[in-house]
Amino acid sequence: MELSKKKSDGFNGITEGIVWKQLLIFFFPLLFGTFFQQLYNTVDAIVVGRYVGKEALSAVGGTTGTLINLFIGFFVGISSGATVTISQYYGGKNKRKVSDAVHTSIALAIAGGAIIMIIGILGAPYALRWMGVPNEIMTYSLQYIRIYFTGMIANLIYNMGSGILRAIGDSKRPLNFLIVSCIVNIILDLLFVLVFHWDVIGVAIATVASQVVSAILVIFTLMKTEDYYKIDLRKIKLHKGLFLKIINIGLPAGVQSLMYTSSNIIIQSSINSFGTNTIAAWTAYAKIDGILWMVLGSFGISITTFVGQNFGAGKNDRVKSGIRTCLIIAMVTVAGISIILYSCGIYLYKLFTTDPLVVDIGLDMLYFLAPFYCTFVAVEILSGALRGLGNTLLPMIISVIGVCALRVGWILVAVPIWPSIKTVIVSYPITWITTSILFIIYYLYYIKKEGI
């Protein structure tokens, strides 16, 4: 009876079956989910870029996107601690610990969302000015980011709730929720911008509304399940021991994301100095480039959950087999994406803008970076695998040194000497290659030391 309940709720047997099939069964719903998440962010940019102008395009991506990712990325890193904790307890069939961890996770999402919302709304103008946002896009940027932050509680509840479902092996329902919220966002984007002419304010409200919808769906699902990850609203609170465990596992990942985004803020500040055309080109590039990162991110989450459940079940051989398999599949997939983006870049850019100068600048960025995408695969997969094993501190340190410190150092030293956009973006392949080498060395050392 208990087993049938798990299957009916979406548990897909990650600890059993053929490794590559189980990875892909879990991966594809994640991929489609992140595709729809990327799609509704991209639709915002397309709508304002085509129907409002390049100033509005610069405002809904670029600097505002980087600042938003600073907070969301940090919390998603923290929430990975909940995903790992729940997946290990679920793999070990510890009912009480799963339930307490789930309620602690939702309480953390609510508290974190409220804090981030207040900081974001009050601090936005100071952050935008510090990053050197041009005056012609300042009003748009401030309007967009402040409205976006009002939906932060819903955003974090959805992210945490989806993480809970993925921890128990269900990546399908988070996909369904994102499809619904994406449709809501697209409809409201077109209504608010094309019919009501609300410009940037319209796309911001549409985004918040879609996030509220996805949060309601995920909470409703967790309340209605019959499995032992069910949520009872009266039991939502921080259980001290589990809260500390989640923070212990998730904080390094959160700090890693924070450092990543902080280095990107410095890069964005450098890009802002090259003017609105370059900011618009970089904003569009980030949306196109997002295709790669949604795929790699899905592989990273897949291997974290796969490793977490199998490690919790004591299946070390399956852990190692899953990591090797995921590395191979991810490398082949990323190589294919690089070729497609390189070949179709001009058509993708013209979705966002018809300004020829913006398109030319953006294509230079894409053509330079696309051949190096494969160099980041080891970072994403091996760091995800190590998180699944509960090892997050050293991977965070490696990322901070290999990506963040090196990237910031390059911007501060090299860009003043050779002030060009190419000098700025070359920091990416330099840090990707360096960090990949460091992760490979550390991973091989760690599994040997732990006897995995």
Q: What is the pLDDT along the chain (452 residues), one digit of tens a residue?
A: 333 334 434 444 577 778 888 888 878 877 777 777 677 667 777 888 777 877 787 777 666 877 887 888 888 888 888 988 998 888 778 889 999 999 999 999 999 999 999 999 999 999 888 878 888 888 888 999 999 999 999 999 999 999 899 888 787 888 889 889 989 998 999 999 889 989 889 999 999 999 999 999 999 999 998 888 899 999 999 999 999 999 988 888 788 788 877 887 888 888 888 888 998 899 888 888 888 888 898 899 889 888 988 888 888 889 899 999 999 999 999 999 999 998 988 998 888 888 899 999 999 999 999 999 999 999 999 999 998 888 878 888 898 898 888 988 999 999 899 989 999 999 999 999 999 999 999 999 998 888 87
Provide the token pair at 13: 């047997």
Q: Could you give the residue ranges of the DSSP H alpha helices within 9-134?
A: 19-51, 54-60, 62-91, 95-130
Provide the token pair at 238: 């921080």
Q: Is residue 395 classed as helix, strand or coil in its secondary structure?
A: helix
Nearest to 323 by CA among 376, 381, 374: 381
Q: Is residue 313 classed as helix, strand or coil in its secondary structure?
A: coil
Q: Is residue 16 classed as helix, strand or coil in its secondary structure?
A: coil
Nearest to 358 by CA among 273, 420, 278: 278
Say if CB 77 and CB 256 are below 8 A apart: yes
Nearest to 215 by CA among 252, 167, 178: 178
**In this structure, how many other beta carbons lie within 10 angstroms of the beta carbon of residue 420?**
10
- Give, in degrees to the nearest 5, the angle at Cα 258 between 252 and 262: 145
Provide the token pair at 211: 């996030």
Residue type, 156: L
- Give, in degrees to the nearest 5, the angle at Cα 41 between 38 and 43: 105
Residue 348 to residue 45: CA distance in whole angstroms: 12
Residue 10 to residue 420: CA distance in whole angstroms: 50
CA atoms within 13 A on the CB side of 417: 6
